[in-house]
Amino acid sequence: MLGVESTTISNWKSGLSAVRLRAHTQEILDTAYAQRATPEDRERFEQIVAEGEAAWRARHPKAARRSKADSNTGDVPSADPATAPESASVSTDFPLAGGGDSSASTVDVAPISSSVLVGADHTAIDVLDVEEASALMRTRSARSSLSSFATVTDLLAGQRQSLAPDALIGPIEAHRDAVASLFRAASDDVIKRRAGALLGETSVVASRVWSAIGDRSMALTHAAFARKLADQLQDKTLGGIARIFESNLRSDAATLISSDGDVVIGLRVLNEAAGLAAFLPPAARARIGAEQAQAYAVLDLRDECEEALTRAQRAAESIDEDNRSGLFSDWNSTRIQVYVGTCQLLLGQPKRAIAALAAALDSPEMDSPNVALAARVDLASAYALSGELDEGCRVLGETYEDLATMGNRRGLERAQRAIEKMAPWQNEKPVLALMERVGETSA
């Protein structure tokens, strides 16, 4: 499932408790383990770990005693080169799933890089240098190694919904740099195209994280880079996906995030993406239609909005679990329902917006925290416009606090825009209480 190299598995088997995982990789793989492993898998895993540890300690008594002493003192050493030879299969360290259980031993591969990037949470991640990347791209395992890198990209993309963006940006940028090294080092045309497509996708993931942080210029830079790279490689799938997310930034989500967004430019870029629809997965086509509908709603083009929503719903009907990964891990029919509610809000139909957004939030398929928070912001606005000011201010206040806790600055900007639209009631008690609550949260 994780696409880990067989050579890496061998290194794990040889190293076992002599080495340790880094915190960020442990968290990513623990998530996959928690979501996928059955009770039978967990029982078998614990048995294998126990047997392997016993055998390893018998073969390496000195290292076993040193490992035990290190664990007792809290010292976490790097991998012992004698027992865990270097591996160039992937730029990040992969944990053996299940490390969250303190009774289970964890293993790691030796670092493969001389350079380290540190994220906002001081999490380190290895980056390939030019020589390492060139060596990897000359091996027979180049293609399977790229698959391992692609797995990491998907995992990091999925973590956007559960990790604070400040904590995620360091690992994703380091991973992107590693993929960029592979792309530059590749000489085989087929390998270079695959590495280029992965670099573009990873750049889009980084763009989304920068956007959540609130750095629009960095987000736009990464998205534009992915688009230009796709055009250079003549990769129509990557080109369409890059344009979808660049459009979102150009229009500032159809001015819901900022009044400076240009809806016309956003629609123009979306139309370019729509021209590549034949090469895109259903979730991407659904997002194109939904984003077009939102932009049309801002312009009060009702017929065009309805037609775009119909296209989005039709595409969403074809989304299956295989499509819900990476950048589109949070896409399903419920996501379209959120867009329906937002469009109704923009078209001045708050009652219809409340019905659509409430239904989406109550749906068991609403499994994305970020999407749910965006829906709650729009629901609060719809309540206020429909005359339920108390409820609107209550929902918006709670949502603002949740967004602040997550560190989602782009979500906070959306909430701030919703607060600005309550100016007609600025002297009403619910709004005054809301402003006080927001002020305390921001302090």
Q: Is the dihedral of CA 21, 26, 28, 30 positive or negative?
A: positive
Q: Quote the tokens at residue 210.
A: 């920068």
In a domain, 301, yes or no: no
pLDDT of residue 93: 38
In a domain, 38, yes or no: yes
Tally of CB atoms within 10 A around 279:
14
Does 339 score more than 60 pLDDT? yes
Domain-located, residue 157: no
381 — phi, psi (to 5°)? -65, -40
Q: Is the pLDDT of residue 307 over 60?
A: yes
End-to-end CA distance of the chain: 44
Per-residue confidence (pLDDT) for residue 329, from 0 to 100: 82
Backbone phi, then psi, for 280, in 5-degree steps?
-110, 150
Residue 28 maps to a domain: yes
Tell me: the pLDDT tens digits for 86-101?
333 333 333 323 333 3
Task: Please give the pLDDT value at position 294.
Answer: 93
pLDDT band at 140 (very low <50, low <70, confident <90, very high): low
Mean pLDDT of all residues in 97-124? 33
Check: CB of residue 133 under 8 Å from CB of residue 181: yes
Q: Which of 228, 222, 273, 225 is nearest to 247 (CA)?
A: 273
* Stretch among 13-17, 70-74, 112-116 having the lowest mean pLDDT: 112-116
- Locate 363 and state its tokens: 């749906």
Q: What is the pLDDT at residue 360? A: 95
- Length of the chain, in residues: 443
pLDDT at 85: 28
119 pLDDT higher than 50: no
The amino acid present at 38, given as its one-letter code, is T
Q: How many distinct structural domains can be found in the chain?
A: 1
Lowest mean pLDDT among 104-118, 165-179, 338-352: 104-118
- Structural domain contains residue 159: no
DSSP letter (8 states) at residue 101: S
Residue 99, SS3? coil
3-state secondary structure of 116: strand
Over residues 70-94, the mean pLDDT reads 36
Nearest to 210 by CA among 165, 246, 177: 165
Per-residue pLDDT reduced to its tens digit, 368-418: 888 899 999 999 999 999 999 999 999 999 999 999 988 888 889 889 989
Output the six-digit token pair for 385: 């416009």
Tokens standing for residue 35: 């979501």
Compute CA 151 distance to the chain's CA centroid, rounded to the nearest angstrom.
12
* pLDDT, the chain, mean: 77
Looking only at the bridges linking them, the beta strands covering 124-127 and 115-118 are antiparallel
Domain span at residue 102?
Answer: 1-111
CB 118 within 8 Å of CB 139: no
Structure-block tokens of residue 291: 């984003």
Whether residue 52 lies inside any domain: the answer is yes
The mean pLDDT of 209-214, rounded to a whole number, is 89
Given pLDDT bands bounded at 50, 70 and 90, which one contains residue 109? very low
For residue 155, is pLDDT > 60? yes
Amino acid at 374: A
Tens of pLDDT, residue by residue over 51-60, are 555 554 554 4
User: What pLDDT does residue 206 have?
Assistant: 96
Mean pLDDT calculated for residue range 217-227: 95
Q: Does 226 reside within a domain?
A: no
pLDDT higher than 50, residue 190: yes
Residues 254, 294: contact at Cβ < 8 Å? yes
Task: Tell whether the model's pLDDT for residue 147 goes beyond 60.
Answer: yes
State how far Cα 355 lies from the chain centre: 29
How much is the pLDDT for 22? 57
pLDDT at 251: 84
On whether residue 179 sits in a domain, the answer given is no
- Backbone conformation region of residue 143, classed left if phi is above 0, alpha if psi is from -120 to 50, else beta: alpha
DSSP state of 277: G
